[in-house]
Amino acid sequence: MNALLTTVKMEARLVLREPLNVFFAFVFPSLLLTVLALVPALREPSPEFGGVRFIDYFAPSLLVLIVAMVALQVVPAVLAGYREQGVLRRLSVTPVSPATVLIAQLLVNLALAVVSSAVLVVLGRIAFGIPLPRHLLGFLAAFLVGVAALLAIGTLLAAIAPTTRAATALGMIGFVVVLFLGGVYLPRVLLPDAIARLGAYAPPGVQAVFDGWLGTAPPDPVHLLVMAGIAVVAAAAAARLFRWE
């Protein structure tokens, strides 16, 4: 336990020392929300978004941006980089096992996603009057299981990528797909029905997050079970395929 705690602290310092990680995880989503909220038309209720303001409707999509950035951009590149640089191989002969580093990475990036999301929620509420999630427990369940699914996928990408460059490329492909299905590029209400339905079952399960946030309905248990299943399968595959050298 002491080794894990020490490794978590070390990994947290390394993550926070990367300016791009800090900017895109903490600053960019809140900056984007601020820019959108400064447009007067986007602060008016709209029938296209069920009578709510665009910024209220779009806020959950920014959570998708945060989670995808951490899980699909940071995690694969860091873990593949550790392998390519021989960090994991060297750790294997020390009291700190490579598995400890892997667990620490996941814990640090989970915390990064949670804290960044909390900053976005608080900023939206205080600065722009964006309502807090109406089904709080349902929202938290959907958000956490969605984060777990994407982190597991990010770890799987790191497991199968032969190099850091390949891990970054695979992560970018996944990142673009997740943002499209999650309504970041185009609000989900404007997506074709088939694409919107696919997004409901693709990590991080944006429909369940939307339902919990907007209060239109409690998150569908089927959506949550699908995300949990994806998390378990991807994590098991990553553990089986991951190479320490």
Instruction: Name the residue range of residue 75's domain.
Output: 2-241
How far lies 72's CA from each of 51, 62, 138, in Å?
33, 15, 24
pTM to 2 decimal places: 0.92
pLDDT tens-digit profile of 51-107?
A: 889 999 999 999 999 999 999 999 998 888 888 888 878 877 777 777 788 888 889
CB atoms within 10 A of CB 48: 12
Determine the Cα–Cα distance for residues 159 and 234; give it in Å rounded to an integer: 10
Mean pLDDT of the chain: 89
Determine the Cα–Cα distance for residues 148 and 89; give it in Å rounded to an integer: 26
How many domains does one find in the chain? 1
Partners of 53 in beta bridges:
45
- Least-confidence region, from 4-8, 113-117, 161-165: 4-8
